[in-house]
Amino acid sequence: MSSPSQPDTAEGTDENGVEQLMQRLTDIEQWRNGMSLWKDNTNSRLEDLEREHDIESLRDRVDELETLAEQAMVVASAGHDPDAEPKVERAKRLTRNELVRRSAVGGPARGRQLMVSDVQKMAQPDMVLAYQSVKDAWIELTSEWACFQETTKNGDKAITVKSRDIPKPLARAVEVDLDRDDLYKKLISAKGDGGGN
């Protein structure tokens, strides 16, 4: 038994523990309230940013652009639609492709000039090209690529290409257009053999 003059240590310890526990609960409650406030502020800021930058419409726009890019690749890989192609563009493309192809393949056709009538025949039966359309196409072609040169043959307008001056991007464009992958290699080989004109 303890004497009345001595305090009960077990009772003091219980009161101390309860006070510490209450303080700890108060601290946890304050921390929880602070975290709740931080969460509310963060959510509010995110909503402001979403409204400000309209994230959803940006995502939609990215999706639209990806779809458009895929469609463009399909159209590009499908080749040219002769019905949709302007006559001057068609004449330019036919001339470009034929002269680069001839230069790459070699043989007696290498270095041979194309006449206006040659290009007109290549366009048929899909399209009838007027003399002026071919002439305009050649003007555009010679201004775009220095390797093409207008000339004359038997007094008629003609065009030719300097094989050694055909740049890689031009050869690659013709390869894509003709669905080939060997023209540039053949041009390089011809240059190495001294076959370029």
Find the CATH number of the domain harbouring 169.
1.10.10.10
In a domain, 76, yes or no: no
| 86 contact partners, CB below 8 Å, separation of at least 6 | none
Same domain, 97 and 57: no
Residue 50's domain comprises 10-61
Rounded Cα–Cα distance for residues 134 and 20 (Å): 97
Task: Examine residue 103 and state whether it is found in any structural domain, yes or no.
Answer: yes
pTM over 0.85, yes/no: no
pLDDT tens for residues 108-139? 655 678 889 899 998 888 888 898 999 999 99
- The reply to whether 186 and 100 lie within a common domain is yes
Query: How far apart, in Å, are the Cα atoms of 12 and each of 8, 15, 19, 126, 150?
Result: 7, 5, 11, 107, 111
- CA-to-CA separations, 180 to 61, 78, 87, 96, 108, in angstroms, rounded: 35, 14, 24, 15, 21
d(CA 125, CA 141): 23
Same domain (yes/no): 97, 187: yes
Is 67 within a domain?
no
Q: Is residue 141 part of a domain?
A: yes
In the chain, which residues have pLDDT < 50?
1-3
In this predicted structure, what is the pLDDT of residue 29? 87
Residues 120 and 162 placed together within one structural domain of the fold? yes
- What is d(CA 5, CA 89) in angstroms, rounded to the nearest whole number? 115
If asked whether residues 178 and 97 sit together in one domain, one would say yes
What's the first-to-final CA gap in the chain, in angstroms?
A: 123
Q: How would you class 69 by CB atoms within 10 Å of its CB: exposed for 0-12, middle for 13-18, buried for 19 or more? A: exposed
- ∠ CA 62-64-68, rounded to 5°: 115
Domain count, the chain: 2
Write out the two tokens for 77: 């890989």
Give the Cα separation of 45 and 54 in Å (integer).
13
